[in-house]
Structure formats: C-alpha cells, structure tokens
Amino acid sequence: MTDLPIDLEAFAQAVPEATVAAVRRSRTVLAVGHEHPDADTLGATLGVVRLVAWLGGRATPVCADPVPELYRFLPGIEAFRTEPDPDLDYDLLVLSDCGALDRIGPLLERHRERIEALPRLVLDHHATNEARGPADWVDPEAAATCELVALLAVRLGAPLDLDGGDLATALLAGIVMDTATFAHPNATPRTLAVAAALLAAGAPLAEISRRLYRTKPDSQLRLFGRVLDRLETAADGRIIFSTLTAADLVATGANPAHSEGLVDLLSQSETAEVAILFKEQGDRTRISVRTKPGGVDATVLTGRFGGGGHARAAGATIEAPLAVARERVLAEAAALVGALRR
C-alpha cells in the first residue's frame, strides 16, 4: 500500500528537526534497546534499523539479553545481537525506550568506553527520562516509543509499508504491548491514528494481539498459577502484591520473560490502588508496579528505589534480597496509599 488513508503529517511535525537531521546524516548506527526486552524496545529498535537502511546506511540492533521467544514473530528479529559488531565504526548511538542509559544493562559495562564516545540520540516516552541531548526526543505523552518512531518515519518521508509491511508490524507490536491492546489510559487520539496508519500499511493487528496477549506456553500458565495463588493484600486491600521466586521458574520450567503480564493481572483487583510484583533476581529484587488512574503515581513509588517509568506503570531494581526489598517497598506503598483522598 502506497497511498495510506491515514494522514499523520500534522502529528509528525512534533518530531524535532535535530532528531531528523541526526538520523539522516548517520551512516552506521548502533541501535540499542533496554535489557529484558519487550515489544516496544524491540519494535522501536527494528524500526530505527529499517529507517537507517532505507536512507542508505547500516544499523546493528543490539540488546544485552537474548530476545524472548514471545517476540520471535517480529520480522527481522533474528538480526538482534547481544554485542555491537566489533568490525563496524559506528557514528551514532540510538537508544530506544530506555528511561536512562543504565537501562541497557550489562552492555554498558562491557562497552562503556565505546558507547560513551558515540554521539547519542534518545527516543523514549518515559516521563522520568532526563535525556536532554540536542537530538533527543522524549515525549511522555506517547503511549509507546514505537509511536514516536512511526512519526519519525513520516518526517523522514519513509513509507510506513516499508519492506512489505515489516516496518509497520514491528511498530504496531510495540504500541499494542504498551497500551495492552489500547485498553490503558495512555492510548491517545494520536496513538490511535498512528496505529490506524500502521494497520493500513499492512501490520496484522489481530495476529499481533493474539501473539502478545492470547498465546502462552504451558510453562507460563503454570507460573502464573503459582504466583497468583500466593497473592497477598496490605493496607486494607488497597495494595495487592505477589512474589515470583527463582524456585518458581525451576518448578514450572518457565523463564524470566514468562513473567510478562503477571502484574497486569494483579492490577485487575477491584479494590487495590497499587499492584506490585516482586521478582527475585539473586541478591537483587525487581519490582513492577501498576496503579489506578487518578491515584498513586507509580513513578513516585519506584523513584524512591532508583526506578522510573510512567504514572500508571513503572518499575525498579532494588539492591536488596527479596524479603528486605518487599518490606521496604510495601511500607512506602502503604504511605502513598494512605495519603490518597478519594
């Protein structure tokens, strides 16, 4: 499809000129997503790779962790590496969906000198992102970083049906994931317009939704059962939480990526203002937080532990074992819930 019925030109004017210029002049791009990747960071990174290639350049998609099986349906996903190409002389680093540089994980420590020496472009939608580089585009009003990459494509003049719809598929997957198929309040009229344009460009919306939300291996279902079976409440039911341990993964044959979606199930509690999933990671603890609209700001809770994200969905990694981290986080959550007046 070349004549798209959805006109995004007005929305695309929001793309900073410096962002467009940086992508246009780059020839060899290191395109990096965050550790423990999801559909938004993967889709946005793949989008950047395709746009650079369309402009005549070359880009390497990199993520510190292997791509989870859930996202293997994304076209071009096999190109992802866990390390930069040692034979390429990169002239630009593009970080997609990374609220801070350290979100790229151990990749930063392994290649710090090389990464920090590169000109940097940040594409992100996290309100807690403090990137202020001349070419950075951080828009907390965007539902997903893939929404921004789609508008960047329009500003560059690239067709959204690039590569037979593969560009559109990767970008729509990120939007579907970060909006929970357009059910979250972060889906704006612009989000829906971008999604409609991507659908018109060949992205298979129904298949993407099925893959991301209605297809799970048995091991993941068993994991969900164990974790949901031990859910607890605090603050008179206004906090709901559960814990995922290393033993759960062993017992069910699941892997860490299979925890995707668990906290969203907890957040369906009728009475809870805050839903928290605690994930054991050796001597550290990862927390995922969801909150009700108009209530506790999830970034305030996670920010007290060095994390960030969005008002309704955020996370943090705490340098403390599970039992210690749980006590500290629940105390902070209870104080925030207690301050609500509604």
Q: What is the CATH number of the domain that holds 146?
A: 3.90.1640.10
pLDDT at 3: 53
Residue 277 belongs to some domain of the structure: yes
Closest CA to 288 of 231, 243, 222, 245: 243
Last residue of a domain, one of 184, 213, 242: 213
> What pLDDT shows up at residue 26?
97
Cβ atoms of 204 and 75 within 8 Å: the answer is: no
Establish if 128 belongs to a structural domain: yes
Which amino acid is residue 316, in one-letter code? A
Say if residues 284 and 320 touch (Cβ distance below 8 Å).
Answer: yes
The answer to whether 87 and 61 are in contact (CB under 8 A) is no
Q: Which amino acid is at 41?
A: T
- What is the percentage of the chain residues whose pLDDT exceeds 90? 93
Q: pLDDT for 48-58, tens place per residue? A: 999 999 999 99
Q: What's the whole-number average pLDDT of the chain?
A: 95
The answer to the question of residue 53 being in a domain is yes
* CA 164 to chain CA mean position, Å: 25
Show the domain range for 292: 218-338
Residue 77 lies in a domain: yes
By CB neighbour count within 10 A (0-12 exposed, 13-18 middle, 19+ buried), where does 53 fall?
A: middle
User: Can you give the pLDDT at residue 2?
Assistant: 44
Is the domain of 47 the same as that of 107? Answer: yes
Report how far residue 244's alpha carbon sits from residue 248's, in angstroms, rounded to the nearest whole number: 6
- In angstroms and rounded to an integer, the radius of gyration of the C-alpha atoms of the chain is 20
Number of domains in the chain: 2
Same domain membership, residue 237 and residue 207: no
270 and 136 in one domain? no
C-alpha 168, offset from chain centre: 17
Sheet arrangement for strand 239-244: 232-234, 239-244, 274-281, 284-291, 313-318, 308-309
Which of 153, 183, 213 is the last residue in one of the domains?
Answer: 213
In a domain, 200, yes or no: yes
Decide which of 167, 197, 213 is a domain's last residue: 213
Residues 230, 172 share a domain: no
pTM to 2 decimals? 0.87
3 inside domain: no
Does a structural domain hold residue 255? yes
84, burial (CB in 10 Å: exposed 0-12, middle 13-18, buried 19+): buried
Q: What angle do CA 141, 92, 53 make, to 5 degrees?
A: 85
Judgement on whether residues 240 and 192 belong to the same structural domain of the protein: no
Instruction: Specify if 69 maps to a domain.
Output: yes
d(CA 195, CA 285): 35
Q: What is the pLDDT of residues 272-297, one digit of tens each?
A: 999 999 999 999 999 999 999 999 99
pLDDT digits (tens, 9 = 90+) for 78-88: 999 999 999 99
* pLDDT digit string, tens, across residues 165-199: 999 999 999 999 999 999 888 999 999 999 999 99
Q: Are residues 192 and 239 in the same domain?
A: no
